[in-house]
Amino acid sequence: MMVDQLFHAVASSRIPQDQWACMFKTPQDLSTFLKMHSDAFHVQSNLVTLISVPPQTSPTRSCNTASNQVPAGPQPCSPFHQNNNNNNNIISVSSSPITLSSVNNNIEPQLRSLTPPAPPVTALQNQTLKQRINSLVMKTIAQNTERDRSYAATSLANNTSTAGGAHGGDIWKAKILQNTKVIVTIKESLQVVEDIMSQAATEKVSVSFDCEGINLGVKGQLTLFQLGTMSGFAYIFDLITCPTIVSAGGLQHLLQSDTVTKKIHNRSIPQ
């Protein structure tokens, strides 16, 4: 049986929603729940296979005890044990796919027997959320890395063809390193800002602006600013080493200035 079919069967069954909603709310959550109980279920892709029926020793033991104490007549077993015996012909112990007819008859006892206590449920929810976050982070990192590699390869190929082979690529790399400077002190920042503002007083000046941070959003922490000038120089302002470089180093005055045009590159849009 498919995971989606099993989820819809559970949702449309007579089991109250508050009993299973704390364990899974989507077919993906149900798939994770079944994989954690690999002793009873086998999940491959979206196909669920019942490996074996979980042993129910308590109902059998209670039935045997009752029969030994009252020899006059057989004592009725619990409804769960009767339901389990009546459905032995439906549920197969082998690794055959679960049929839709078996789910309707056995979904309640199976879920009751597999229902963990409250702390494991909380751990399961936290683990599922953590897995989703890790998966999203790894996917984003992989996409950004692949995009950066493609852009670097394209830029290197263009410069190699125009500059003449590998020697031209080395010259291009050396030029970038020479024109890039890391600013870690307020004095250096004031000098860079003063040069840009003095040039803006006599002519039209534009700079490229970008920033890096640890977390995205309004409450995220910025780690560095990047400024690029029209003359081909790039300045990287380290905000971790010198957090006051924004206000005391003149960056705030530069960003708020109307005489300097700032161009911000939106890297979330592939270009």
Cα-based distances in Å from 150 to 140, 154, 172, 206, 271: 15, 6, 17, 28, 11
The pLDDT assigned to 81 comes to 47
Query: Could you give the count of Cα atoms lying within 13 Å of 136 in the half-sphere of its Cβ?
Result: 6
Distance CA 262, CA 109 (A): 66
For the chain, residues with pLDDT lower than 50 are 58-74, 76-96, 119, 121, 163, 271
Nearest by Cα to 194 from 129, 234, 249: 249
Residue 236 belongs to what H/E stretch? Answer: strand 234-238
Query: What pTM does this model have?
Result: 0.39
The pLDDT assigned to 189 comes to 93
Copy the structure tokens of residue 194. 């003063």
The pLDDT assigned to 68 comes to 47
The pLDDT assigned to 235 comes to 92
Work out the widest C-alpha separation in the chain, in whole angstroms.
Answer: 112
As a whole number of Å, the end-to-end CA separation of the chain is: 44
The pLDDT assigned to 150 comes to 72
The pLDDT assigned to 208 comes to 92
Distance CA 269, CA 271 (A): 6
The pLDDT assigned to 113 comes to 56
Cα-based distances in Å from 53 to 88, 95, 162, 184, 192: 9, 11, 70, 66, 73
Residues pairing with 228 in the sheet: 208, 234
Homologous superfamily in CATH for domain 179-271: Ribonuclease H-like superfamily/Ribonuclease H (3.30.420.10)
DSSP assignment of 102-156: HHHHHHHHHHHHH---HHHHHHHHHHHHHHHHHHHHHHHHHHHHHHHHHHHHHHH
Distance CA 102, CA 87 (A): 8
Nearest by Cα to 116 from 18, 19, 192: 19
The pLDDT assigned to 117 comes to 53
The pLDDT assigned to 60 comes to 46
